[in-house]
Structure 1
Amino acid sequence: MGFETAVVVAIFLIAFLFLGGTYYNGWAASQENLQMAREDNNALLLDKTHTSINIGEINSVSDNSSYTITVDVTNTGSRVLDWEKIDVLVDGELTDYNTSTDPHTWSPEESVTFTMDNLKGSGFHRIKVVTENGIGDYSTYHID
């Protein structure tokens, strides 16, 4: 009975070491993924902290069936923004726009004029400009 007990204990010890090693490898990988996610989140929070925009003057020109608006927006943050990642929403709908400058970067303290054509409706409308990391500003305007 002594030899059989030693074999069973050895089998349990080997199984315990195998399961412990498997558990540790999974735990270590998940901790590494968690640390990378925390670093990414901290970088995103830092970007958001340094990003700010302000919608200034909104002008409109209308004809019988549609209107065009021009919106002056200033990058009031300390981060350079990318044009291709800016979204403009008019009354909650993504809207195509043209800008007053050609480069693809928007430097801090720089003002840019956004122009949206062929918009429909009258009365009060809302416009929202959103940056690449989700920071935005909104304003209202009126069309007669």
Structure 2
Amino acid sequence: MGFETSVVVAIFLIAFLFLGGTYYNGWAASQDNLQTAKEDNNALMLEKTHTSISIGEINYTGSNTSYTITVDVTNTGSRVLDWEQIDVLVDGELTDYNTSADTHTWSPEESVTFTMDNLNGSDWHRIKFVTENGIGDYATYHIN
């Protein structure tokens, strides 16, 4: 009876070591993934902290059936932005735009003029500009 007990204890010990090693490898990998996610989140929060835009003057030409607006937007943050990564929403709908900039970079304190064509409707409208990391600014304008 003593030999069988020793064999059973040895089998349990080997199984415990195997399961413990497997568990540790999974735990270590998940901790690495968690650390990477925290670092990515901190980098995104830092980018958001240094990103800011401000909508300036809004002008329109045309009538309420079809008009074009030009909007001056200033990068008021300390981070260089890519104006091609900006989303423009007019009354909640994603809108195509053209810009006055020659390069894709949008330096701090630089203003870029955005032009949106073939819009329609009279009365008050909302326009929102959203940067690549989610920071945005909105304004309202009136079409007679």
TM-score using structure 2 length: 0.98
Equivalent residues of 2:124, 2:143 under 8 A apart: yes
Q: CA deviation at 1:131?
A: 0.4
| Whole-angstrom CA distance in 1 between matches of 2:124 and 2:39 | 42
Deviation at 1:64, TM superposition (A): 6.1
Aligned to 2:50: 50
How many residues in Structure 1 have an aligned counterpart in Structure 2?
A: 144
Contact 2:85 2:131 in 1 (8 A): yes
Runs (4+) off by over 2 Å: none
Equivalent residues in 2 for 1:1-144, closer than 5 Å: 1-63=1-63, 65-144=65-144
Q: Which amino acid aligns with 2:82?
A: D
> What letter matches 2:97 in structure 1?
Y
For residues 14-68 of structure 1, what are the alpha-carbon distances to aligned partners after superposition, in whole Å with 9 as ceiling and x for unaligned? 0000000000000000000000000000000000000000001100112362000
Distance in 2 (alpha carbons) for counterparts of 1:32 and 1:45: 20
Q: CA RMSD in A?
A: 0.7
In 2, Cα distance between the equivalents of 1:64 and 1:92?
18
Unmatched tracts of structure 2, length 5 or more: none
Aligned-partner Cα distance in 2 for 1:125–1:61: 15
Question: Structure 1 residues 42 and 33, CA, compared in 2 at 3 Å: closer, same or farther?
Answer: same
Are residues 46 and 31 of structure 1, via their aligned partners in 2, closer, same or farther at CA, if it must alter by over 3 Å? Answer: same
Q: Deviations over 1:97-134 (max 9, x none)?
A: 01011100000000011000000111000000000000
CA–CA distance in structure 1, aligned partners of residues 5 and 58 of structure 2: 86
Cα distance in structure 1, aligned partners of 2:40 and 2:101:
31
Q: Name the % identity.
A: 85
Unaligned runs of 5+ in 1: none
Separation in structure 1 between the aligned mates of residue 86 and residue 2 of structure 2, nearest angstrom: 76
TM-score, normalization by structure 1: 0.98
Deviation at 1:136, TM superposition (A): 0.3
3-state SS of paired residue (2:96):
coil
Determine helix, strand or coil for the equivalent of 2:79: coil
